[in-house]
Every structure is written in structure tokens, then in C-alpha cells.
Amino acid sequence: MTTPGTQVEISEIAVETAATVTGPVVSKSPTQLAMARFRADKLSMFSFYVVVFYVIAAIAAPILVATGVLDPFTPHQDLIDEQSLPLHPFGGISLEHPFGVEPRIGRDSLSRIWYGISFSLSISVLATLIAVVIGVVLGIVAGTSGGWIDAIIGRFIDLTLAFPQTLMLLALSSVAVAFITTVLNVPEGPSAQFVYVVSILGLFGWTSTARIVRGQVLSIREREFVYAARLLGARPGRIYFKEILPNLWAPILVQFTLIMPAFISAEAALSYLGVSVRPPTPTLGNVLTDSLSFMSDNFTYFIIPAVLIALIVVCFNLLGDGLRDALDPKSGR
């Protein structure tokens, strides 16, 4: 449109000519145009399909566990030798156990990893939701009010960033989990650990979103269409929800897809430190952590969760990049 961006421009022209060829001119909203650009990008579409695949797998896992198709908890001691390694080669891969069995007690790896994807994704989705909601609310408040409120939120962001999170997480974990079980009445064990990891990821991960949303609000607020709306007598509610917010969806969506993978790897790191959900409940993080001690003896057991984590993280990041390029063609990489 305005700036000639090579690939984007070509795909757009292609889209428009396609529309003119097929029939009467169809009017396209900015969102529809962005989606057309997104669909034209093969890498983004590939990562989108991978992400969809993961999401479907994550939704299906609890159902499959409940119906007994996946069995992440039953030990198979008969498949384990005296050194507590699987009997069969390549981590005990067989027809019944396509990803092999776990060393020591011989639980089915496929079931544990599949069920683990479900836990890991729900942890990161919930944590991302918390982070994005806090970030968007604080960002909008800071951007619209300005003055000392803006200054206080800005300092609060600095404080959150300067906070020695990891150290505090480790130190506070037992106290906080106890607090979650007693005060919030969450059942002890995996549930309390789940709540803990979701809340700490969410409560410390909102800063980048807040900053980006604040900047966007500051720039949109001074556009002439906002003045025009005020001049027409629109009330502040209408200005924020109808004029400003529709222009914020794109950066918020992009933030979402960029925070998600960061939280998936953060969950894995927290598992390693022992503050995430603990076995026997599987997450991608704690399966990977467990496999680290068998890395030289049972490489298969380690490589499968490692590749699966890497794949989802990379694909989510590519999806986020693709969305950003599609939604805002003027910003380069």
C-alpha cells in the first residue's frame, strides 16, 4: 500500500487480482488482509499446523488417559533389566510402547510425553493468559492516564524486571505451595504445584506486554481519528473500546504467541529446579529432567521429549513472527 515491501506487496497484489478475477470486488478488512498475507507465508502456515497438532494432542490426552488408551502411570517391571534400563534396544521401543519405556519402573514413554504435552501446554496457556491480561490492563492504564500513574507503573515494571525471580521462586516454593493448599483450598500435590507454577510465570511475565501496549496506546491516542471521535462527542468508553482497542488486537495477539513458547521452556527449566509440577504427574519439563540422568545409557528416552519441546517452541515463535509480519507489514524483521 504505502511502503513497497517486496514479498508482502506481491502476495497482496496476488490476493487482490484473485478477488477481481473471481467476481465482484470483495471488500477486505485489515484483519482479512493480514490473514491472506499469513496464509501466503508457507513457513508460518507450517508452524501453524504444528501448533494446531500439538493443541489437538493436548486436548485429546486427558480423554485418552481416562479411556485407558494412554497409560502414563502403570509400571512395567518385566521390561526393565538389572541396571534399571529397558530390556529392548532404543529405550525399549516396541509395538506396545512406540516411544519405549521409562528406565527404572518401565512406564510407557509415549503416554507420559503425550500426557505431559497436555500439562505443559495448559500451564503455559494459563500463565500466558494471566501475563497478557495483566500486561494489557496495566499498559492501557499507563498509556491512557499518563502523568504519575504512568510513572508508577513504569517503576513497577522496572522493579518486576529487577526482581531476582528464580532465586525467590526456589526459596518461596514450599511456603507458597503451602499457602495455595491452605488458604486457597487447592488439593495438595500436583494441583497446588500446577497453580504455583502458573501464577509465578504469569505474575512475572507481563512486563513486555505492558510496555508494548503502553507504547501502542500512546501512539494511537494521538492519531487524528481519536480526536475526530472526541469531536463527534464520543464518550471515553466508546473511544477506548471502539477506536483504540481494535487497533491493539494485533500486537496483543503477537505478544501471546511469543510469550507462550517462552513459558513452555520456562516450565522445563523450573522442572529441572524442582518447582514445577512433580512426577508422577508428567509434564514435558519433568520428563526431560528425568531423562537427563540417563542421557548416555538411554539416549532415546532423552531425545524424544527434547525434540518435542524444541519443535513446539520453534513453531510457536515462527507463528508469532509470521503473525507480526502479516498484521504489520511495515515492520521489518
Q: Does 21 bind other proteins (CB under 8 A)?
A: no
Candidates 49, 90, 163, 225: give the one binding other proteins (CB under 8 A).
225
82 binds other proteins (CB under 8 A): no
Q: Give 258-308 as a DSSP string.
A: HHHHHHHHHHHHHHHHT-SPPTTS--HHHHHHHHHTTTTT-HHHHHHHHHH
C-alpha cell recorded at residue 105 = 519402573
State in angstroms the smallest separation of the CB of 232 from other proteins: 5
b (16+ CB within 10 A) / e for 276-298: bbebebbbbbbbbbbbeebeeeb
Is 243 among the residues that bind other proteins (CB under 8 A)? yes
Give yes or no for a contact between 255 and 321, defined as CB atoms under 8 angstroms apart.
Answer: no
Query: C-beta of 248: minimal distance to other proteins in Å?
Result: 10
Determine, following the binding rule CB under 8 A, whether residue 274 of this chain makes contact with other proteins: no
Return the number of the residue (23 or 233) whose C-beta is nearest other proteins. Answer: 233
221 binds other proteins (CB under 8 A): no
When asked if residue 184 is in the footprint of other proteins (CB under 8 A), the reply is: no
Q: Which of 54, 34, 50 is nearest to 323 (CA)?
A: 34
Site membership for other proteins, residue 60 (CB under 8 A): no
Listed as own residue / partner, the contacts of 173-176 with beta carbons closer than 8 Å and 24 or more positions apart are 173/274, 173/275, 176/200
Q: Which residues contact 122 (CB under 8 A, 6 or more apart)?
A: 58
Which among 24-32, 130-138, 192-200, 279-287 is the span making contact with other proteins, rule CB under 8 A? 24-32
Q: Rule CB under 8 A: is residue 59 a binding residue for other proteins? A: no
Interface size with other proteins, residues (CB under 8 A): 27
228 binds other proteins (CB under 8 A): yes
Nearest distance in Å: CB 1, other proteins:
6
Residue 142-171 contact track with other proteins, rule CB under 8 A, x = bound: -----xx--x--------------------
What residues does 80 pair with on adjacent strands? 86
Residue 287, phi then psi, degrees to nearest 5: -65, -45
Cell of 91: 529405550
- Residue 257 CB coordination number (10 Å): 22
Q: Is 101 helix (H, G, I), strand (E, B) or coil?
A: strand
Q: Check residue 83 for interaction with other proteins (CB under 8 A).
A: no
> What is the dihedral angle through the alpha carbons of 194, 196, 200, 203, rounded to the nearest 10 degrees?
100
* Contact pick of 30, 89, 98, 280 for other proteins (by CB under 8 A): 30
Q: Does 331 bind other proteins (CB under 8 A)?
A: no
Q: Which residues pair with 101 in a beta bridge?
A: 108
Per-residue cell: 156 = 513497577
Part of the chain binding other proteins (CB under 8 A), chosen from 66-74, 104-112, 225-233, 286-294: 225-233
Judged by CB under 8 A, the residue of 164, 233, 237, 332 near other proteins is: 233
Of the candidates 122, 199, 208, 247, which one interacts with other proteins according to CB under 8 A? 247
| 224 scored as a contact of other proteins (CB under 8 A) | yes
Residues forming the site for other proteins (CB under 8 A): 1-2, 27-31, 33, 147-148, 151, 223-225, 227-234, 238, 242-243, 246-247
